[in-house]
Amino acid sequence: MTGILKKQINAAAGRISADLVLKNAKVVDVFCHRILKCDVAVSNGKIIGLGEYKGDKEIDVNNKYVVPSFIDAHMHIESTMLTPSRFAEASAPKGVGTVIADPHEIANVCTDKGLEFMLEDAKEIPIDIRYMLPSCVPALPSEHNGGFIDSEKTKELLASQNFYGLGEMMNAFGVINADNEVLKKILCSKIVDGHAPLLTGKDLCAYITAGINTEHECSTVEEMLEKISKGMYVLIREGSGAKNLETLVPAVNKHTIRRIMFCTDDVHIDDLIERGSILNCVRKAIKLGIDPIDAVIMSSYNAALCYGLSNKGAIAPGYDADILVIDNLEFENIIQVYKNGILAAENGECLLHAKGCSNINVINTVSLPDLSEEDFKLTFNKNIPVIGVTAGSLITEKLYTGCSDRLNICANIERYGKHGTIGKGFVKGFDIVNGAIAQSIGHDSHNIIVIGSSENDMLRAVHAIDKSGGISVVQNGNVIAKMPLPVAGLMSDKSANEVYNEFAEIKKAVKRICHNKDLEPLMMLSFLSLPVIPSLKLTDQGLFDVDKMRLI
């Protein structure tokens, strides 16, 4: 180690050549909020100098901009439907250098095997994945899922495995009421992510007092400002289903920016490939009036500060050489991506390919009861609430309607062969006609969730999902699209391009039966079952009133 440090110091001082020098760069200085015209010198994977340097390898970037690579401050890799290795290959060309990932989707399906797979598959990849240990498996104690992590297991896993901190604490009710088991989990880690939508006042104070200091569920400027003023870091989320950036941009100013960063939370493969994840956040923020240097700060440096990544998030001596070369400050094109000083991607193509896990042992995870059309029948009752969905938001409404016009039946079916339970309810906002959609992605317990216009179509859609899991679309009794997701019923074992093409066919099929063109139906469907986001959800045990934390 001393030899490497001596080499870096000598190169920084100009006594020897650097390994790599990016000549004639315009460096975005995240510390002084300015542009520096200089060379960027790299040695042994670290940036060691800004100025005029010579290198064993010199690349003239010809007055292009040099910025730190992006950090996605909170996301779930499983939502892309790619394994970690394939996700890394797809993300690197889009400028992502690091992700703070919470594998609680797969942990809810098959805890030990699932976490082992995620850790193993993330080795030798072109980005850094910092895994948080899931804090809520299941999301609530009453949930029917396939895994379990209590406080003792939390302590054990944090001590024995490569987890960076504790993932989003969704059980805000348990925190506020000082549940002993919840508090034991929180005390296991110095870094604890938050998840507390619409929490305010004294309840918010209690939540933060427990040691939780991040939030990615803000849906209004007022909520965001209150949480920042009480010391939280706020992650502005722009994913495939939840899109909060445009609403929250007015809260960004010279005083608040120190506490704001970007995340995607849940992003589908098509959005990742077509727009990028954090790249999409940066481009959209700039179009909405955010200063480009501020956008860079929120996309990298702030996340590094929040999570204690002291060697990331800036183009400066001593920082990791995770570097983007871009053509302009509108981020229209990422020309080159460097990972630890090695060219990882160029002009949209990944050059460093991941090894991947050679033994995927988290397959055939779906075990359903015998089903008939009778299991999907539901009589409308105006006294029972209806789930109302809104495009761009995961928060649902608790509605009472006088008739069943434009409503769809939704069912949540326990998939682990333990309980045989089926919850049913009506949903407003999908506008599905003559068809049904079923999938083994249903946050966070990932039971089978299906929505449709008739019992027959719903049954056929569920039957089309075999024990490996996946997504199916039925129209007029016929399966018109199917996408297998054999890895825990959440991810494909194929390449990013293959998954992208399969998902494109699924989306085409969905458009044929779903007539709400503003809605992202597949992502929205997957969140109808999550009983920790207000206000009304559907579990395999029935309708769940999140505001009152009870089954209806």
Contacts of 395 (CB under 8 A, 6+ apart): 197, 198, 219, 533, 534, 535
SS3 at position 203: helix
Distance CA 201, CA 300 (A): 30
Residue 359 has a pLDDT of: 85
Q: What are phi and psi for residue 327, nearest 5 degrees? A: -80, -30
Give the CA angle between residues 274, 280, 284 to the nearest 5°.
Answer: 130
Instruction: Taking residues 357-385, report their average pLDDT.
Output: 95
Ordered by where they begin, the domains of the chain are: 2-63 (2.30.40.10), 68-290 (3.20.20.140), 373-551 (no CATH)
Instruction: Taking residues 217-239, report their average pLDDT.
Output: 98
**What is the band of 144 on the pLDDT scale with cuts at 50, 70, 90?**
very high
Instruction: Taking residues 510-536, report their average pLDDT.
Output: 96
Q: At residue 229, does pLDDT exceed 90? A: yes
Q: Which two tokens stand for residue 208?
A: 């933060």
- Find the helix packing angle between 104-121 and 84-91, rounded to 10°: 80
Instruction: Taking residues 473-491, report their average pLDDT.
Output: 98
Of 154, 140, 147, the closest CA to residue 185 belongs to 154
pLDDT digits (tens, 9 = 90+) for 499-513: 999 999 999 999 999
Distance CA 531, CA 394 (A): 11
Residue 538 has a pLDDT of: 98
pLDDT digits (tens, 9 = 90+) for 324-338: 999 999 999 999 999
Instruction: Taking residues 367-371, report their average pLDDT.
Output: 96
3-state SS of 34-67 is EEEEEEEEEECCEEEEEECCCEEEEEECCCCEEE
Residue 325 has a pLDDT of: 98
Residue 358 has a pLDDT of: 82
Q: At residue 275, does pLDDT exceed 80? A: yes
Q: At residue 412, does pLDDT exceed 90? A: yes
- Structure-token match 């899109």, residue found: 243
Residue 443 has a pLDDT of: 97
Residue 140 has a pLDDT of: 94
SS3 at position 381: coil
Mean per-residue pLDDT over the chain, rounded: 97
* Element at 7 (helix H, strand E): helix 2-12
Residue 95 region by backbone torsions, left for phi larger than 0, else alpha for psi between -120 and 50, else beta:
left
